């Protein structure tokens, strides 16, 4: 900032000027007297005194008329500079100085008025901005909620559409199993393929809308990423070798043997990328590589799991790379004619990656190929010796062929598959009867473990359909049922099942039954129907705890993860007064709680079931409250044992 120039006061200047004037007048008068030779010291002194008095009067007058008003003005200007709009004192001199002061005050007054006006405008503007922001916020909220409603509608619709689709496919399968003329068989096969692609599309839409409606919940369960990649790649091997391209997969040495996360969703991500790579590549190779990177700065999920799928396909042009992750987008119009597809695969893949808070990137060069890389934050279990490896005394059994577990409840799925895998069995899982029929069409199984109550196609009907095919007349089917008391056992046997197991499944009994029935089927043991002894569920659960504490820990986690959604469903059923739904959900909850020996939750769910039967909604709400608080207590207990 420039330095202010220094001013000497007007008063000082006047005083100096007057003093010089006085001396000059005295000197002139004295010099005149001296030349006339009548110089008198007395006269000189008198003259001096008079002149001094006159000078003092002039000086005082000047200060009052000029200096003081100017000082006021200066103060006013300084205030103005500092942003203070203050009126100054105006000296009544009735001249230009007074006019100057009044003008200054008038200017300050008009400045103050315009400042107030600006302030008012600013406040108005701020209020407008605030109102606009609120309106925009509301618009955004309603857009979001309508998008949520749309996604939920889509999710429900595609779910509903899947049921008749499964019926169509099932019926076509049935007709295809009967004697047919060649062209009839061809037509039906075409119809079946169309129905399957429609079902795949419905599944895609269901997935996408589930994610968009925020209804996709990720699991936290251990899995072997090498196994997962190899499983996925194997499903594409036949197609790849038919096209004459090589398909390879590898994992870096430092990739932990056990990662923790949602293997199902990861499988979906990889399957989408792999099927695209194989679909679009005409020659050369497709390679999947897995690597990890430590991210110690992250307390949760301190690994980056990096999966890259590289192909030597046609590549994607830079301008298309931007859009291929959007819904229903294909790189060019001829794609769907040449390769089929809907343009949903990569949209789902990206959403799934986003749900994981991960990242997906693609590097591609036209004519050279593309590499899709997925980076997903993950957890890993300490590289302890694989418990399975130690507990595999019956490895030899693995050679006898895989077991198909048909079960929609993830906890039961986990228990049964874990127990079987531990014994060295290869296990496939189908989540409903229709999937089981599809799996049977693809692969031969040594035995099926079949849940009874399932969506889409229940265990009884599935078994009847399987038995209609003479090829599966001797295939052992063991029911897993939660209600051994109410005639389910008879219904299972009538439908054509060989045996039944009560839930929660006792692992020793399960293994005994599976081994026995596989032996029966292979002709090494006498055929006989075996039923589970009526056993106390709590005892079975605690035996399971003894057998594998880590498994129970995982089940507990899974139970706690699923609990809020289940409680929500129960609450909706209770609020809607839907007794049937309430009872069936309450029983599911009861079964799940039994498998982790959570007695209080079992009891509360049982009371809820009874309340549903009596249509006693007050009791239902009460039991629901107890159930909720028991779940919270269980969560607290689990957390306090973990930390
Ligand atoms: P779909 O495969 O059903 O057409 P996607 O969403 O999986 O839908 O893929 C969108 C588009 O991205 C594809 O139509 C294709 O044009 C392009 N694309 C995806 N993967 C590849 C790949 N590996 N090589 C070349 N183009 C690809």
Tell me the best of 345, 353, 361, 364 to mutate to test the pocket of ligand 1, counting ligand atoms within 8 Å of each CB and taking the most.
345
Q: Do the beta carbons of residue 604 and residue 623 sit within 8 Å?
A: yes
43 or 469, higher pLDDT: 469
Q: Which long-range contacts (CB under 8 A, 24 or more apart) does 290-298 make?
A: 290/225, 290/226, 290/229, 290/249, 290/250, 290/251, 290/252, 290/255, 291/251, 291/252, 291/255, 292/252, 292/254, 292/255, 292/256, 292/378, 292/380, 295/377, 298/377
48, pLDDT greater than 60 = yes
Q: Phi/psi of residue 139, each to 5°?
A: -60, -40
Separation of CA 393 and ligand 1 centre (Å): 46
Local confidence band at 221 (pLDDT 50, 70, 90 cut-offs)? confident
Q: Which of 187-201, 384-398, 559-573 is least confident?
A: 384-398
* Ligand 1 atom with the shortest distance to the CA of 272: 7
pLDDT at 518: 82
221 or 542, higher pLDDT: 221
Q: Is 55 touching ligand 1 by the criterion CB < 6 Å?
A: no
Sort strands 259-261 and 221-223 into parallel, antiparallel or unpaired: antiparallel
383, pLDDT greater than 50 = no
507 or 243, higher pLDDT: 243
Separation of CA 153 and ligand 1 centre (Å): 27
pLDDT at 374: 96
| Protein residue with its CA nearest to atom 22 in ligand 1 | 277
pLDDT at 215: 67
Q: Is 273 touching ligand 1 by the criterion CB < 6 Å?
A: no
Query: Mean pLDDT throughout 248-262?
Result: 89
- Half-sphere exposure of 35 toward its Cβ, with a 13 Å CA cutoff? 5
**Strand partners of residue 481:** 502
Dihedral sign computed on CA atoms, order 79, 81, 86, 89: positive
* Cα-Cα end-to-end distance for the chain: 62
CB atoms within 10 A of CB 518: 19
pLDDT at 419: 80
542, pLDDT greater than 60 = no
User: By CB neighbour count within 10 A (0-12 exposed, 13-18 middle, 19+ buried), where does 490 fall?
Assistant: exposed
Sort strands 499-502 and 359-365 into parallel, antiparallel or unpaired: unpaired
Instruction: Tell me the range of 28-32, 430-434, 541-545, 549-553 where mean pLDDT is highest.
Output: 430-434
Q: Do the beta carbons of residue 444 and residue 450 sit within 8 Å?
A: no
User: For 260-304, what is the HEC assignment?
Assistant: EECHHHHHHHHHHHHHHHHHHCCCCEEEEEEEEEECCCCCCCCEE
Query: Mean pLDDT throughout 51-60?
Result: 82
CA gap 164, 183 in Å, rounded: 25
Separation of CA 267 and ligand 1 centre (Å): 18
| Protein residue with its CA nearest to atom 14 in ligand 1 | 330
CA gap 422, 417 in Å, rounded: 8
Separation of CA 216 and ligand 1 centre (Å): 24
Q: Do the beta carbons of residue 88 and residue 112 sit within 8 Å?
A: no
Q: Is 331 touching ligand 1 by the criterion CB < 6 Å?
A: yes
pLDDT at 435: 92
Separation of CA 346 and ligand 1 centre (Å): 7
Separation of CA 361 and ligand 1 centre (Å): 14
Say what percent of the chain tops pLDDT 70. Answer: 84
Local confidence band at 536 (pLDDT 50, 70, 90 cut-offs)? very low
> In terms of Cα–Cα distance, which of 453, 493, 478 is closest to 590?
453
Query: Mean pLDDT throughout 58-70?
Result: 81
pTM of the model: 0.44
| Protein residue with its CA nearest to atom 17 in ligand 1 | 331
Q: Do the beta carbons of residue 558 and residue 414 sit within 8 Å?
A: yes
Q: Do the beta carbons of residue 328 and residue 343 sit within 8 Å?
A: yes
50, 53, 55, 58: CA torsion to nearest 10: -130
Mind listing the pLDDT tens digit for each residue in 428-482?
999 999 999 999 988 889 999 999 888 888 899 999 999 998 888 889 999 987 6
397 or 332, higher pLDDT: 332
Local confidence band at 289 (pLDDT 50, 70, 90 cut-offs)? very high
Separation of CA 332 and ligand 1 centre (Å): 9
Q: Do the beta carbons of residue 545 and residue 599 sit within 8 Å?
A: no
CB atoms within 10 A of CB 70: 17
Give the position of tokens 């009847």.
Answer: 464
> In terms of Cα–Cα distance, which of 513, 204, 476, 473 is closest to 348?
204
Q: Is 216 touching ligand 1 by the criterion CB < 6 Å?
A: no
Local confidence band at 340 (pLDDT 50, 70, 90 cut-offs)? low
96-109 CB burial, b ≥16 within 10 A, e <16? ebeebbeebbeebe
């Amino acid at each position: 900032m420039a330095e202010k120039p220094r001013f000497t006061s007007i008063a000082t200047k006047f005083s100096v000027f007057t003093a010089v004037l006085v001396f000059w007048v005295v000197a002139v008068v004295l010099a005149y007297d001296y030349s006339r030779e009548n110089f008198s010291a007395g006269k000189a002194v008198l003259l001096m005194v008079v002149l001094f008095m006159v000078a003092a009067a002039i000086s005082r007058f000047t200060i009052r008329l000029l200096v003081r008003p100017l000082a006021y003005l200066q103060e006013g200007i300084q205030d103005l500079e500092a942003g203070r709009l203050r009126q100054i004192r105006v000296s009544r001199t009735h001249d230009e100085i007074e006019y100057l002061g009044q003008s200054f005050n008038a200017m300050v007054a008009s400045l103050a008025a315009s400042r107030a006006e600006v302030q008012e405008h600013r406040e108005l503007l701020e209020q407008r901005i605030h109102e606009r922001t609120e309106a925009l916020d509301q618009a955004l909220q309603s857009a979001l909620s309508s998008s949520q409603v749309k996604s939920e509608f889509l999710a429900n619709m595609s779910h509903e559409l899947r049921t008749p689709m499964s019926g169509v496919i099932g019926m076509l399968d049935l007709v295809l199993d009967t004697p047919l003329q060649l062209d009839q068989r061809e037509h039906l096969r075409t119809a079946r393929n169309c129905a399957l692609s429609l079902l795949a599309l419905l599944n895609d839409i269901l997935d996408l809308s589930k994610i968009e409606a925020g209804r996709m919940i990720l699991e936290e369960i251990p899995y072997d990423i090498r196994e997962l990649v190899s499983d996925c790649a194997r499903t594409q091997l036949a197609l790849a070798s038919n096209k004459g391209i090589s398909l390879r997969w590898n994992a870096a040495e430092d990739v932990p043997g056990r990662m923790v996360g949602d293997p199902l969703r990861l499988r979906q991500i990889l399957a989408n990328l792999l099927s695209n790579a194989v679909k679009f590549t005409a020659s050369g190779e497709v390679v999947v590589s897995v690597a990890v990177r430590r991210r110690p700065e992250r307390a949760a999920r301190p690994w980056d799991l990096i999966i890259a799928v590289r192909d030597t396909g046609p590549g994607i042009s830079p301008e298309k790379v931007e859009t291929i992750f959007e819904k229903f987008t294909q790189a060019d119009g001829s794609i769907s004619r040449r390769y089929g597809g809907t343009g949903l695969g990569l949209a789902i893949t990206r959403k799934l990656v986003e749900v994981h808070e991960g990242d997906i990137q693609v590097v591609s060069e036209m004519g050279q190929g593309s590499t899709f890389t997925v980076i997903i934050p993950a957890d890993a279990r300490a590289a302890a010796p694989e418990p399975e490896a130690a507990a595999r005394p019956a490895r030899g059994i693995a050679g006898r062929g895989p077991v198909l577990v048909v079960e929609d409840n993830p906890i039961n799925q986990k228990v049964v598959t874990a127990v079987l895998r531990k014994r060295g069995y290869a296990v496939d899982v189908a989540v409903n009867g229709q999937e089981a029929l599809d799996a049977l069409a693809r692969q031969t199984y040594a035995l099926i473990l079949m849940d009874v109550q399932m969506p889409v196609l229940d265990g009884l009907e599935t078994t009847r359909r399987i038995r209609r095919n003479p090829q599966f007349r001797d295939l052992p089917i063991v029911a897993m049922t939660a209600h051994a008391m109410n005639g389910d056992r008879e219904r299972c046997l009538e439908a054509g099942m060989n045996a039944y197991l009560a839930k929660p499944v006792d692992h020793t009994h399960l293994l005994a039954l599976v081994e026995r029935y596989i032996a029966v089927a292979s002709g090494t043991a006498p055929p006989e129907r075996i039923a589970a002894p009526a056993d106390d569920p709590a005892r079975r659960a605690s035996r399971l705890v003894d057998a594998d504490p880590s498994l129970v820990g995982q089940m507990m986690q899974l139970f706690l993860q699923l609990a809020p959604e289940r409680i929500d469903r129960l609450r909706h059923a209770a609020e809607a007064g839907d007794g049937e739904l309430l009872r069936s959900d309450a029983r599911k909850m009861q079964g799940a709680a039994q498998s982790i020996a959570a007695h209080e939750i079992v009891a509360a769910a049982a009371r809820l079931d009874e309340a549903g039967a009596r249509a006693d909604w007050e009791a239902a709400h009460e039991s629901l409250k107890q159930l909720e608080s028991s779940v919270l207590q269980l969560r607290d207990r689990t957390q306090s044992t973990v930390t």
